[in-house]
């Protein structure tokens, strides 16, 4: 018998480990829930709720394939190897199948489990599934990992021209497999109830059909204008698929196949919208590979090691104002409040809010990274860390330290009518399209139920540049 260990990949379609395991014989499925580990990783409550809601649907999908699901609660990963061995021996498991995960803690967990099981002649098969290309396979001429996105992207394009990764075949149902009730009994509903978030089901449905429909709708309706619309936070111009990709309801191969479906899965760029979304998917790829190739970024270290010496401000009150969307900079506050209310933030606004924290407020990017992880439904270590280090000028192929977004001009450019601010900062909704971006600019004594700006944008920009020059 074979065991499929599901982690951030709760789907039955296009699943490498599931397909390979089912080709070898009868299978059982395993999901391990680790609340203490989630806490250590600062996983957002809305992300845990999303995962657990998905797990309940996923269990039913596996039942239709006659694959029993075993759910175990093991608080910390360090205690997992013994638990896995006992389970495998109990079920007389021949092999365990799972997908590679790239964080340092995940790699250590899998190494220990693999070591323990293989000592007892239980084979462990790990597959590349989270990325388009196997980790460590995108290399420069010196066989080193790329450190610049544009060169990495070019290499990926070359690979895609040769072959666009295709989806795995659909899985057939296996013969009915009965397991002892004590193995499969786990009150998932009760466990999930501990993490339930009101209204999250409305915001973020968890069935596969919904996710695939979202993907199709995006490709059909919004892809052609994606290049321009993706930057406008008041529009529904992005795919909003990141939560579904992150916990594996969708695979990256399904996205890439949908992108090229008009060409029957062959690489052909027709328009800028298509190319821009492909480039966004490859940024995700770049950060996943970076996390694997440079594990220090998984350990709260900057990629550019000299930036570790940067003198960040200790300003807990400013940090709290930023977290709650009370900075006095409307576009920043709108983004931070959207995050608190929905667990998601528009990508352009993620960059604006992040750069405001680590440049204008000169607060350590790690505090921002941590706050985002605690709130985001799509919180992914690789993408979140990569984005924050890009904004802080400490990371791989980061923005130069002297290029600092002005949040007001960003707001004027990408939210000209102020609709996004009106939605999330209702106390400013009555202002006209000009003054809503900086309500106190013309009249500092204006009476509004809204805070004055925490900092002067011009002088705080100079302060940040000076701090970087000291390195």
- Which run of H or of E encompasses 381? helix 381-392
Active site residues: 280, 283, 312, 347, 365, 388
CB 246 within 8 A of CB 429: no
The pLDDT tens digits of the residues spanning 390-419 come to 999 999 888 899 999 999 999 999 999 999
CA distance 108 to 51: 22
Instruction: Read off the tokens for 326.
Output: 């009370």
The pLDDT tens digits of the residues spanning 174-210 come to 999 989 888 889 999 999 999 999 889 999 999 999 9
> Does 3.40.1010.10 match the CATH number of domain 131-166+207-293?
no
CB 200 within 8 A of CB 49: yes
Task: Note the pLDDT of residue 10.
Answer: 97
CATH of 2-129, one of 3.10.580.10, 3.40.50.620, 3.40.190.10, 3.20.20.150: 3.40.50.620
The secondary structure of 427-449 as a DSSP string is GGTTS-TTGGGSTTSS-TT---S
CA distance 439 to 173: 62
Q: Which of 8, 124, 26, 20 is nearest to 67 (CA)?
A: 26
CATH superfamily of 305-469: DNA Cyclobutane Dipyrimidine Photolyase, subunit A, domain 3 (1.10.579.10)
Instruction: Delimit the domains of the chain by residue range.
Output: 2-129, 131-166+207-293, 305-469
CB 364 within 8 A of CB 357: no
The helices-and-strands tally (H runs, E runs) of the chain is 22, 5
CA distance 348 to 268: 27
CA distance 156 to 281: 11
Q: How many CA atoms lie within 13 A of 262 on its CB side?
A: 10
Sheet strands (E) in 100-228 = 123-127
Q: Structure pTM?
A: 0.96
Instruction: Read off the tokens for 373.
Output: 């992880």
Q: How many CA atoms lie within 13 A of 467 on its CB side?
A: 24
Task: Note the pLDDT of residue 298.
Answer: 81
- pLDDT < 50 positions in the chain: none
Q: Strand order in 123-127's β-sheet? A: 69-73, 27-33, 2-6, 95-99, 123-127
Residues facing 30 on adjacent strands: 5, 70
Residues 6+ apart with CB under 8 A from 308: 301, 302
Task: Note the pLDDT of residue 336.
Answer: 98
Task: Note the pLDDT of residue 68.
Answer: 96
């Amino acid at each position: 018998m074979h065991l499929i260990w599901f982690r951030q990949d709760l789907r039955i379609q296009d699943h490498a480990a599931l397909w390979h395991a089912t080709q070898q014989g009868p299978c059982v499925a395993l999901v391990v829930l680790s609340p203490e580990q989630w806490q250590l990783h600062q996983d957002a409550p809305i992300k845990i709720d999303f995962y657990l809601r998905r797990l309940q649907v996923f269990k039913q999908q596996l039942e239709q394939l006659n694959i029993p699901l075993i759910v175990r609660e093991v608080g910390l990963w360090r205690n997992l190897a013994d638990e896995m061995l006992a389970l495998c021996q109990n079920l007389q498991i021949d092999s365990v199948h799972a997908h590679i995960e790239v964080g340092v803690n995940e790699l250590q967990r899998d190494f220990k489990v693999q070591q323990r099981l293989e000592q007892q002649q239980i084979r462990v098969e790990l597959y590349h599934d989270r990325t388009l290309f196997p980790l460590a396979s995108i290399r420069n001429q010196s066989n080193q990992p790329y450190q610049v996105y544009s060169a990495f992207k070019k290499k990926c394009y070359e690979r895609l021209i040769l072959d666009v990764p295709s989806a795995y075949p659909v899985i057939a149902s296996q013969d009915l497999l009965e397991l002892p009730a004590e193995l499969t009994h786990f009150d998932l509903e009760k466990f999930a109830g501990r993490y339930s978030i009101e209204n999250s089901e409305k915001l973020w449905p968890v069935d596969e059909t919904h996710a695939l429909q979202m993907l199709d709708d995006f490709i059909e309706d919004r892809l052609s204008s994606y290049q321009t619309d993706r930057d406008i936070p008041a529009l529904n111009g992005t795919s909003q698929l990141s939560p579904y990709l992150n916990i594996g309801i969708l695979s990256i191969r399904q996205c890439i196949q949908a992108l090229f479906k008009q060409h029957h899965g062959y690489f052909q760029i027709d328009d800028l919208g298509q190319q821009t979304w492909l480039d966004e998917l490859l940024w995700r790829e770049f950060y996943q590979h970076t996390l694997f190739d440079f594990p220090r970024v998984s350990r709260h270290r900057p990629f550019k090691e000299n930036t570790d010496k940067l003198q960040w401000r200790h300003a807990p009150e400013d940090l709290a104002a930023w977290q709650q969307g009370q900075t006095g900079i409307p576009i920043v506050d709108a983004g931070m409040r959207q995050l608190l209310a929905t667990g998601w933030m528009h990508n352009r606004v993620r960059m604006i809010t992040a750069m405001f924290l680590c440049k204008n407020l000169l607060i350590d990017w790690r505090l921002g990274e941590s706050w985002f992880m605690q709130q985001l439904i799509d919180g992914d270590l690789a993408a979140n860390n990569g984005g924050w280090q890009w904004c802080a000028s400490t990371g791989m192929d980061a923005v130069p330290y002297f290029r600092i977004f002005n949040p007001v001009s960003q707001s004027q450019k990408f939210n000209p009518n102020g609709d996004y601010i009106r939605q999330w900062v209702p106390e400013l909704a009555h202002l006209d399209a000009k003054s809503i971006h900086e309500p106190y600019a013309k009249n500092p004594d204006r009476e509004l139920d809204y805070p004055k700006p925490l900092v002067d944008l011009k002088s705080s920009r100079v302060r940040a540049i000076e701090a970087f020059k000291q390195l």
